[in-house]
């Protein structure tokens, strides 16, 4: 069976999180062949893989969102678009719920124009956008509307026009551009499609756009509706939608996904790899705090640093080890280093990419301060290693640490705090730091919960069954 996994902004260019999930899935299913349709941001990253690719990964098809910058076109061409084509394109721009994606796929891949740029410089496109602006966006300056919509459509059209590998199943690990490409696979080859949504992509884009300086206020709603429209495309084409936990399932339903399509399959961890880990020395009285995290804004490393500054005032013998790559956003990493210096905080170490299992056994507390998450592997790793966790109330963190009605283990495996609240995060760390018995009890609860509900074997077994079901359908 050949499975085409569609990944956006993750595997194989970035380690951790969704990328680790993809790598584990492929490596654990040698009975299947996989190909990756990898959507990256910039052409300069071509071929810069962060993983040794498994033998059953037979192809990586690389596409980059900035490729349209190399395209050329001529103004004023006329292609005599049909009414159906005009309405489909207008629906995409407006983020309408009834957008005809079959018509859009045919339009965007049409051979009448040599490139997406050529289409977006045509008289037909100018006319349909002018009509839409008069009818629905009269209050927006048309010149700015034109260039804003062009920047929205160019990357999407460019990747949709790219050749897509033929496969038995198309499996996307998010909505957005990746979800559209997997939908295209189903459209072209009439093969089943799976969507696994780790976080809610459209909600994450909305948060980013609201905060963004590059989008003028009156165009923010247009961008937000556009990304919700891309998500509806994936929900509409999917044969199965996998959610990692119940709250995300509820959000997917709110966004228009049919409940009957949704199946919950949690992440899993190879728990046996987290036994007999290197431990701290018995006479080591230092409180060792750790974070398994990429140093990027969405992980909110700055709040992590600020909270540790508060912890140091309560527990002088405390050290913080931040384990994870620092090169994904060099500017943000430098800002974090400057904040450490500004606050005069000692005993913070950024390790860069490391073998986490060589460190985690020496930690007393693991911390996650993310602004947004799905079901973080970092928390599962900490629980498997019997380490208590302090995590912000995002994604499935509350469910992982406090339990739910189906995981079979009562009790808490850590403490949940508000997002962006360095005071409460520090308070939780100090509480655990001063209470070794509580740390031990929470650590044992976490390990028991992973054993019962979040093992690697359970995770792979459920996806194996799902693929086999679709093989029969396909």
Q: 3-state DSSP call for residue 291? A: strand
Please give the pLDDT value at position 178: 98
2-64+163-264 and 271-453 agree in CATH topology? yes
Q: 376 with 397: CB under 8 angstroms?
A: yes
Q: How many angstroms separate the CA atoms of 334 and 363, rounded? A: 25
Q: Is 168 helix (H, G, I), strand (E, B) or coil?
A: coil
| Residue 369: partners with Cβ closer than 8 Å, 6 or more residues away | 291, 299, 300, 301, 303, 304, 307, 391, 392, 419, 425
How far, in Å, CA of 344 to CA of 351, rounded? 19
> For the segment 158-177, what is each residue's pLDDT rounded down to a tens digit?
999 999 999 999 999 999 99
Percentage of the chain with pLDDT > 70?
99
Say whether the peptide bond before residue 12 is cis (omega within 30 degrees of 0): yes
Look up the pTM and report it.
0.88
What is the CA angle 189-158-15, rounded to 5?
Answer: 85
Element (H, E) at 7: strand 2-8
Q: CB atoms < 10 A from the CB of 218, how many?
A: 14
CATH node for 2-64+163-264: 3.40.50.2000
DSSP 127: H
Classify strands 33-40 and 193-197 as parallel, antiparallel or unpaired.
unpaired
Q: What is the pLDDT of residue 473?
A: 67
Q: What is the CA radius of gyration of the chain?
A: 24
Distance from chain centroid for Cα 145: 29
d(CA 96, CA 99): 6
Domain boundaries, the chain: 2-64+163-264, 70-154, 271-453
Q: Collect the ranges in the chain with pLDDT lower than 70.
A: 69, 73, 472-474
Closest residue by Cα to residue 367 from 200, 358, 316, 376: 376
User: In the structure encoding, which two tokens stand for residue 18, read together?
Assistant: 């969704």
CATH class of 271-453: alpha beta
Q: What is the per-residue pLDDT across 269-282, written as a single tens digit (0 to 9) for each?
A: 999 999 989 999 98
In angstroms, the CA 108 to CA 153 distance is: 10
Sequence-ordered list of residues with C-beta below 8 angstroms from that of 35, at least 6 positions apart, any chain: 2, 3, 4, 5, 57, 58, 59, 60, 61, 165, 167
């Amino acid at each position: 069976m050949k499975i085409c996994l569609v990944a956006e902004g993750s595997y194989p260019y970035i380690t951790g999180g969704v990328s680790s999930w993809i790598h584990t899935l492929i490596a654990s299913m040698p009975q299947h062949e996989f190909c990756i349709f990898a959507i990256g941001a910039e052409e300069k990253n071509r071929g810069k893989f962060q993983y040794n690719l498994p033998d059953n990964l037979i192809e990586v098809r690389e596409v980059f969102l900035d490729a349209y910058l190399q395209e050329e076109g001529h103004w004023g061409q006329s292609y005599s678009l049909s009414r159906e084509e005009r309405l489909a394109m207008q629906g995409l721009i407006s983020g309408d719920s009834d957008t005809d994606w079959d018509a859009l796929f045919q339009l965007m891949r049409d051979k009448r124009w040599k490139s997406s740029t050529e289409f977006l410089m045509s008289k037909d496109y100018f006319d349909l956008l002018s009509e839409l602006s008069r009818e629905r966006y009269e209050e927006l300056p048309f010149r700015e509307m034109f260039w804003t919509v062009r920047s929205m459509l160019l990357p999407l059209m460019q990747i949709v026009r790219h050749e897509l590998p033929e496969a038995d199943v198309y499996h996307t690990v998010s909505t957005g551009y990746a979800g559209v490409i997997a939908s295209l696979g189903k459209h072209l080859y009439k093969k089943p499609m799976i969507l696994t949504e780790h976080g809610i992509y459209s909600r994450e884009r909305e948060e980013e756009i609201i905060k963004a300086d590059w989008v003028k206020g009156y165009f923010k709603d247009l961008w937000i509706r556009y990304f919700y429209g891309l998500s509806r495309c994936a929900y509409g084409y999917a044969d199965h939608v996998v959610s990692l936990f119940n709250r995300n399932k509820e959000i997917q339903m709110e966004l228009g996904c049919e409940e009957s399509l949704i199946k919950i399959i949690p992440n899993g961890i190879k728990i046996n790899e987290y036994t007999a880990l290197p431990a701290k020395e018995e006479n080591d009285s230092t409180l060792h705090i750790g974070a398994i995290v990429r140093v990027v804004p969405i992980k909110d490393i700055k709040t992590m640093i600020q909270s540790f500054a508060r912890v140091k005032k309560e527990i002088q013998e405390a050290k913080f080890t931040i384990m994870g790559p620092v090169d994904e956003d060099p500017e943000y990493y430098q800002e974090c280093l400057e904040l450490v210096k500004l606050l005069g905080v000692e005993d913070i170490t950024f390790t860069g990419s490391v073998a986490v299992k060589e460190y985690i056994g020496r930690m007393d507390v693991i911390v996650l301060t993310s602004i947004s998450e799905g079901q973080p592997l970092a928390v599962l790793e900490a629980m498997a290693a019997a380490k208590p966790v302090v995590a912000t109330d995002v994604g499935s963190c509350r469910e992982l640490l406090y339990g739910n009605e189906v995981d079979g283990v009562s009790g808490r495996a850590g403490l949940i705090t508000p997002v962006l609240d360095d005071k409460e995060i520090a308070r939780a760390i100090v509480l655990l730091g001063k209470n070794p018995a509580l740390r031990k009890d929470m650590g044992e609860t976490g390990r028991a919960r992973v054993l019962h509900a979040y093992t690697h074997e359970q995770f792979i077994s459920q996806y194996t069954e799902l693929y086999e079901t679709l093989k029969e359908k396909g």
